[in-house]
Amino acid sequence: MNSSWRDRFCKKIIVNCELRIVNFLTFVRDMADYLDNGLKYVAGVGEVRAKLLEKELGIGSMRDMLYHFPFRYIDRTKIYQIGEISEAAGLAYVQFRARVTGVSYAGAGRKRRFSVYVSDSTGSAELIWFQGVNWIEKRIEVGREYLIFGKPSFFRGELSIVHPEVENIEKALSRKAESGMQGIYSTTERLSSSLGAKGFYNIICNLWAVAKEHIGETMPPALMRQYGLIPLREALHNIHFPQSPEKLRQAQYRLKFEELLGIQLNIQSQRTDRMSRHNGFLFPKVGEAFNGLYGKLPFPLTGAQKRVIKEIRTDTVSGYQMNRLLQGDVGSGKTVVALLTMLLAVDNGYQACMMAPTEILARQHFATISRLLGGVGVKVAILTGSSKARERRIALEGIADGSVKILIGTHALIEERVKFENLGFVVIDEQHRFGVEQRAKMWTKNSQPPHILVMTATPIPRTLAMTLYGDLDVSIIDELPPNRQPIRTVHYYDSARLRLFGFMRQEIAKGRQVYVVYPLIKESETMDYKDLTDGFESISRDFPLPEYRVAVCHGKQKPEDKEESMRQFKDGEADIMVATSVIEVGVDVPNATVMVIESAERFGLSQLHQLRGRVGRGGEQSYCVLMSGEKLSKEAQLRLEAMCETNDGFRLAELDLKLRGAGDINGTMQSGAAFDLKIANPTLDTQILQVSQSAAIAILADDAALAKPENRGLLQLKQRYSAEKKIDFSMIS
């Protein structure tokens, strides 16, 4: 054998082995993605903070942290002078250099407070610590200059900053930043005491150094070209460390697109799946139940109501399972549409149920529907969390043996022990209080999934509805019943209370009834409750018995008491109903003509509109009075003006979308949403939403299972967004 041949042979084997090893390593890397590693080994994190991050923000892995995006950026190259920082300047964060002129201590023990006084040539400020005093006092030296960063606050025009970041000026100026813009990350109160804005930023820097090499690409090159997307690694780099405003914009676009595409891939394949099954119950017959009610309705249906009933009918004879969202402004008459379509199910040998978000609403639906069905011969029952033994037994036995045809209730209907003989149709009222998970449970209440009709008074575009609620078709009631007089809306400042009371007396003298509603916000429930009880007392004083009767209704009452108050008001035994926003959805008292909303500036636009929808249900002129303090933010002012200008829920919803900031992803519309969004705001990013939807449809049409090698990243992306969000039951009041 000649040696050169031998050499070449060996070399070939070695190269071959190397190639195999490289292949093997790539394989291993793909199997166990580096970014799935925990955070505790990243410099600056450690065991304790890793646990806190997981517990407080759900950040468990390196990937989670990379996908925890800043919600705002501040320009760290900008150094203010104290004189420039005023309340009017409206700065969220400021950075300035100043010299320490003195320190002082106040309080003792846990109430201890440490103040540092600083000044520059243009003014002075106070820096305040309530926590970590021992640590910070050692680091502050009178006479030295520092770079100070934090959230400004003002007391009588004097600048102060609580828990600022403070750094030696020499050290600060020598530091090389990743970028001029520093991300500010959302955090929680518990976390922020151990991890400030800068701490967070530092961790991200350290993480980036080790993680950047391991960021793969999720999108095939063709798709990136088609939609003008920058690579994932570049996007993640710029979202955390923007190299320029333009780069930041591209990064946001890429990441929003990716997120919405991940969601759309799930929705669209669920849809294809649903449409390929042919397992929808068939309701071909229009029989006694439907015709029995239709023939004796106290009013003719509007054109829009008829159209929607037709749409639902088409679905229920198609062989596919229906999954439909019914949108209609408050008072547009959704209930009767729901009832007629439930009767279609009954006519075809199926049972139907209707789920409402609150006890009061469920009881009201039960009363309305029982009344409408008087003489039609369809048995209706009710089941709620507070149903007594008898009521519960009637409901449970009746639906199990099939004698009860329509069951109305709250989320108690989802419970395991609620077993229908043959459930074919489910109505969910006021969807924003329910999540997809609940809907999914209803799917399992029969051998095949029943048809689902979801009703909401918050109008939203179809793509948006799908992103928020999953795969749905949309019907719209865009017409109010005739002879409705538009509600007159006015805005009063609190100082005009006497005028308000005079007006209320006038209306009550005409035999009408009045609502007075107080805000109820979860975080400050006790305070709100106090507002309500104070309000109740003051109204009882100004509207004394026996001339006036005042009822009260709020979430802290026992269900029986709440119900009794509502009954009194409904039956005209009370003239005034003082309530929290528990009455927000759906209560129907046609004789009530005045809706007074206290602290109206604290409500969102759609909530205000919902509340206003409680009046104007009879033939009389109705009024809505928005009460507010004198000092209003610009946004609150705009909301109140819009309310006074229009009664059109669709227009208000549009404006609401415009007024909401990008950070407000957790607004009312999002609660109960199907997907947990990190960067896209489906109410603002409507265009990206549409584009991502058509992209998803095209991708799946070509490769439904995402089995092609170039779609591997997309498959992972889809899986990442397939998990459904947990539902917060405490939202259901």
Residue 336 or 592 with smaller CB distance to ligand ADP: 336
470 binds, among Mg ion, ligand ADP, none (CB under 5 to 8 A by kind): none
Angle at 244 between CA 243 and CA 250, to 5 degrees: 95
187 binds, among Mg ion, ligand ADP, none (CB under 5 to 8 A by kind): none
Residue 371 or 390 with smaller CB distance to Mg ion: 371
| Shortest CB 146 distance to ligand ADP, Å | 59
| Shortest CB 378 distance to Mg ion, Å | 20
Comparing every residue's Cβ against Mg ion, the nearest one is 586
Which DSSP letter does residue 482 get? T
| Shortest CB 412 distance to ligand ADP, Å | 21
333 binds, among Mg ion, ligand ADP, none (CB under 5 to 8 A by kind): ligand ADP
DSSP per residue, 48-98: HHHHHHHHHH---BHHHHHT--EEEEEETT--B-GGG--TTTT-SSEEEEE
302 binds, among Mg ion, ligand ADP, none (CB under 5 to 8 A by kind): ligand ADP
Rounded Cα gap, residues 622 and 217, in angstroms: 58
Note the helical H segments in 156-302.
169-174, 189-192, 197-211, 221-227, 232-240, 245-277, 288-294
Which DSSP letter does residue 38 get? B
| Shortest CB 496 distance to ligand ADP, Å | 30
Residue 683, C-beta contacts closer than 8 angstroms, at least 6 positions apart: 460, 464, 657, 660, 667, 669
| Shortest CB 457 distance to ligand ADP, Å | 6
What are the structure tokens assigned to 652, written together?
């208000």
Of the candidates 52, 68, 37, 197, the residue with the CA atom closest to the CA atom of residue 676? 68
Residue pair 460/348 in contact (Cβ under 8 Å)? The answer is no
| Shortest CB 586 distance to Mg ion, Å | 4
| Shortest CB 571 distance to ligand ADP, Å | 16
150 binds, among ligand ADP, Mg ion, none (CB under 5 to 8 A by kind): none
Q: Are strands 113-120 and 123-129 parallel, antiparallel or unpaired?
A: antiparallel
152 binds, among ligand ADP, Mg ion, none (CB under 5 to 8 A by kind): none
3-state secondary structure 374-425: CCCCCCEEEECCCCCHHHHHHHHHHHHHCCCCEEEECHHHHCCCCCCCCEEE
Residue pair 115/128 in contact (Cβ under 8 Å)? The answer is yes
147 binds, among ligand ADP, Mg ion, none (CB under 5 to 8 A by kind): none
Residue pair 147/79 in contact (Cβ under 8 Å)? The answer is yes
- In angstroms, what CA-CA distances link 46 with 41, 186, 195? 6, 20, 12
| Shortest CB 656 distance to ligand ADP, Å | 18
Residue 268 or 335 with smaller CB distance to ligand ADP: 335
- In angstroms, what CA-CA distances link 170 with 97, 181, 562? 11, 20, 64
Residue 66 or 330 with smaller CB distance to Mg ion: 330
Site for Mg ion in 218-257 (CB under 5 A): none
460 binds, among Mg ion, ligand ADP, none (CB under 5 to 8 A by kind): none
601 CB burial (10 A radius; 0-12, 13-18, 19+): buried
Residues in the chain: 733
Residue pair 584/609 in contact (Cβ under 8 Å)? The answer is no
Rounded Cα gap, residues 240 and 555, in angstroms: 43
610 binds, among Mg ion, ligand ADP, none (CB under 5 to 8 A by kind): none
| Shortest CB 332 distance to ligand ADP, Å | 4
Partner residues linked to 563 by β-bridges: none
Rounded Cα gap, residues 291 and 1, in angstroms: 99
| Shortest CB 364 distance to ligand ADP, Å | 9
Instruction: Look up tokens 């439907």; give the residue.
Output: 290
One-letter identity of residue 23: N
727 binds, among Mg ion, ligand ADP, none (CB under 5 to 8 A by kind): none
| Shortest CB 532 distance to ligand ADP, Å | 25
Rounded Cα gap, residues 49 and 192, in angstroms: 11
Residue 732, C-beta contacts closer than 8 angstroms, at least 6 positions apart: 357, 358, 410, 411, 433
Residue 262 or 586 with smaller CB distance to Mg ion: 586
What are the structure tokens assigned to 295, written together?
């023939």
Rounded Cα gap, residues 232 and 238, in angstroms: 10
665 binds, among Mg ion, ligand ADP, none (CB under 5 to 8 A by kind): none
- Sign, CA dihedral 561-562-564-565, equals positive
Of the candidates 408, 411, 396, 436, the residue with the CA atom closest to the CA atom of residue 358? 411
> What is the rounded radius of gyration, in angstroms, for the C-alpha atoms of the chain?
31
Residue 152 or 331 with smaller CB distance to ligand ADP: 331
* Cis-peptide into 559, omega within 30 deg: no
Contact string 561-590 vs Mg ion (x = CB under 5 A)? -------------------------x----
Binding site residues, ligand ADP, CB under 6 A: 299, 301-302, 305, 328, 330-336, 457, 481, 586, 588, 590, 617
Residue 381 or 457 with smaller CB distance to ligand ADP: 457
What are the structure tokens assigned to 506, written together?
């006038």
| Shortest CB 429 distance to Mg ion, Å | 6
| Shortest CB 397 distance to Mg ion, Å | 29
Residue 332 or 467 with smaller CB distance to ligand ADP: 332
Residue 187 or 358 with smaller CB distance to ligand ADP: 358
554 binds, among Mg ion, ligand ADP, none (CB under 5 to 8 A by kind): none
Residue 105 or 299 with smaller CB distance to ligand ADP: 299
Residue 657, C-beta contacts closer than 8 angstroms, at least 6 positions apart: 683, 684
Residue 369 or 689 with smaller CB distance to ligand ADP: 369
38 binds, among ligand ADP, Mg ion, none (CB under 5 to 8 A by kind): none
| Shortest CB 543 distance to ligand ADP, Å | 27
35 binds, among ligand ADP, Mg ion, none (CB under 5 to 8 A by kind): none
3-state secondary structure 155-175: ECCEEEEECCEEEEHHHHHHC
Residue 333 or 398 with smaller CB distance to ligand ADP: 333
Residue 335 or 693 with smaller CB distance to ligand ADP: 335
| Shortest CB 455 distance to Mg ion, Å | 7
Residue 432 or 617 with smaller CB distance to ligand ADP: 617
| Shortest CB 301 distance to ligand ADP, Å | 5
Residue 418, C-beta contacts closer than 8 angstroms, at least 6 positions apart: 383, 396, 399, 407, 412, 445
Based on the shown chain and the rule CB under 5 A, indicate whether residue 331 belongs to the binding site for Mg ion. Answer: no
Neighbours of 151 (CB within 10 A): 14
What's the number of CA atoms in the CB half-sphere (13 Å) around residue 140? 27
Site for Mg ion in 129-158 (CB under 5 A): none
Residue 575 or 584 with smaller CB distance to ligand ADP: 584
Comparing every residue's Cβ against ligand ADP, the nearest one is 333
542 binds, among Mg ion, ligand ADP, none (CB under 5 to 8 A by kind): none
Residue 501 or 650 with smaller CB distance to ligand ADP: 650
Residue 305 or 711 with smaller CB distance to ligand ADP: 305
| Shortest CB 590 distance to ligand ADP, Å | 6
Applying CB under 5 A, the residues found at the interface with Mg ion are 586
